[in-house]
Structure 1
Amino acid sequence: DIQFITPDELVPLLGDSAIYVKRFSWIMYDVPQFMSHYYHWWGEIILGGWRVYSRVGLDPDGTFHPERLQLPDRFLLPIVVDGEWRDKARVVGPLMRAAFPQAAIEERDHWLDLIRLNSTIVFQRALVTNRRAAHRHRWGGRWGKMIAGTQEVEVAEYDPSSPSPDHEGFWSPLRKSLTLNLLGYLPTFASLNNRTVLSPPSDQSDKPVVTYIDRQGTGRRLTEESHASMVEALEALDKEGLCEVQIVKMEHVGLREQVRLVARSAIIVGVHGNGLTHQLWMPPSERSTVIEIVYPGSYDFDYEMLARNMGHKHYIVWNDTLITYPKGTYHEGVQILDGFHSPRIYVHGPAVAQKIRERLLGTEGDDAEKPDI
Structure 2
Amino acid sequence: MEPTDKEIQYIDPHGAKETLGDNAIHVEGLSMILYDTDQFMDHFYHWWGEIILGSWRVYSAFIQYSNASWPPPLPARFILPHIYLDEWHDRAGVNAPLMRACFSSASIEKQDYWLDLIALNRTVVFERAMIVSREAARRHPFSDKWYKMMAGTMDVPTLDNFWEYLRSTTIFNFLGYLPTVVVNPIPGNTEKPIITYISRQGAGRRLIDKDHELLVESLKLLEDEGICEVFVAMMERMSLHDQIDLVSRSTILIGVHGNGLTHQLWMPPSHRSTVIEIFIPKAYVFDYELPARNLGHRHYAVWNDTLITYPKGTYYKGITYGDGFHGNSIPVYGPAVARVIRERLTEPITSRGGARN
Is the shorter-chain TM-score for this pair beyond 0.5, marking a shared fold? yes
Structure 2 residue aligned with 1:221: 206
Of stretches 355-364 and 30-39 in structure 1, the one that deviates more from structure 2 is 355-364
Distance 2:121 2:288 in 1: 43
Structure 1 residue aligned with 2:355: none
Displacement of 1:64 in angstroms is 9.1
Of stretches 340-349 and 49-58 in structure 1, the one that deviates more from structure 2 is 49-58
Q: 1:318 to 1:297 in 2, by over 3 A?
A: same
Matched position secondary structure for 2:300 = strand
Q: 1:253 to 1:226 in 2, by over 3 A?
A: same
Structure 2 residue aligned with 1:105: 108
Q: Does the 8 Å contact 1:324/1:366 carry over to 2?
A: no
Displacement of 1:227 in angstroms is 0.4
1:187 to 163, 179, 182: 179
Structure 1 residue aligned with 2:147: 144
Distance 1:220 1:7 in 2: 54
Distance 1:144 1:16 in 2: 44
Structure 2 residue aligned with 1:327: 312
- 1:174 aligns to 2:166 (yes or no): yes
Structure 2 residue aligned with 1:337: 322
Q: 1:342 to 1:76 in 2, by over 3 A?
A: same
- Match of 2:58, as an amino acid? V
- Match of 1:267, as an amino acid? I
Structure 1 residue aligned with 2:256: 271
Deviations 1:200-219 (A, max 9, x none): xxxx9611110010110000
| Number of matched pairs | 344
Q: 1:64 to 1:305 in 2, by over 3 A?
A: farther
- Consecutive unaligned residues in structure 1, runs of 5 or more: 158-168, 197-203, 368-373
Structure 1 residue aligned with 2:226: 241
Matched position secondary structure for 1:98 = helix
Structure 1 residue aligned with 2:81: 78
Q: Does the 8 Å contact 1:77/1:107 carry over to 2?
A: yes
- Match of 2:174, as an amino acid? L
Deviations 1:170-200 (A, max 9, x none): 111110110110111222346xx6278xxxx
Structure 2 residue aligned with 1:25: 31
Displacement of 1:10 in angstroms is 2.9
Displacement of 1:359 in angstroms is 0.2
Distance 2:289 2:304 in 1: 18
- Match of 2:84, as an amino acid? V
Deviations 1:97-140 (A, max 9, x none): 11111111111111111111111011111111000001000111
Structure 2 residue aligned with 1:165: none
- Match of 1:114, as an amino acid? L
Higher relative contact order (CA 8 A, sep 6+): 2
Distance 1:346 1:51 in 2: 35
Distance 1:260 1:205 in 2: 19
Displacement of 1:22 in angstroms is 1.0
Structure 1 residue aligned with 2:269: 284
Q: Does the 8 Å contact 2:32/2:129 carry over to 1?
A: yes
Q: Does the 8 Å contact 2:44/2:95 carry over to 1?
A: yes
- Match of 1:51, as an amino acid? R
Distance 2:286 2:238 in 1: 27
Q: Does the 8 Å contact 1:355/1:364 carry over to 2?
A: no
Matched position secondary structure for 2:223 = helix
Displacement of 1:66 in angstroms is 2.9
Displacement of 1:90 in angstroms is 1.1
- Consecutive unaligned residues in structure 2, runs of 5 or more: 353-357
Matched position secondary structure for 1:239 = helix
Displacement of 1:3 in angstroms is 5.0
- Match of 1:36, as an amino acid? D
Structure 1 residue aligned with 2:118: 115
Matched position secondary structure for 1:341 = coil
Deviations 1:9-29 (A, max 9, x none): 331221011111111111000
Q: 1:282 to 1:119 in 2, by over 3 A?
A: same
- Match of 1:31, as an amino acid? T
Structure 2 residue aligned with 1:34: 40
Q: Does the 8 Å contact 2:137/2:150 carry over to 1?
A: yes
Q: 1:156 to 1:22 in 2, by over 3 A?
A: same
Q: Does the 8 Å contact 2:185/2:346 carry over to 1?
A: no
Displacement of 1:270 in angstroms is 0.6
Q: 1:318 to 1:116 in 2, by over 3 A?
A: same
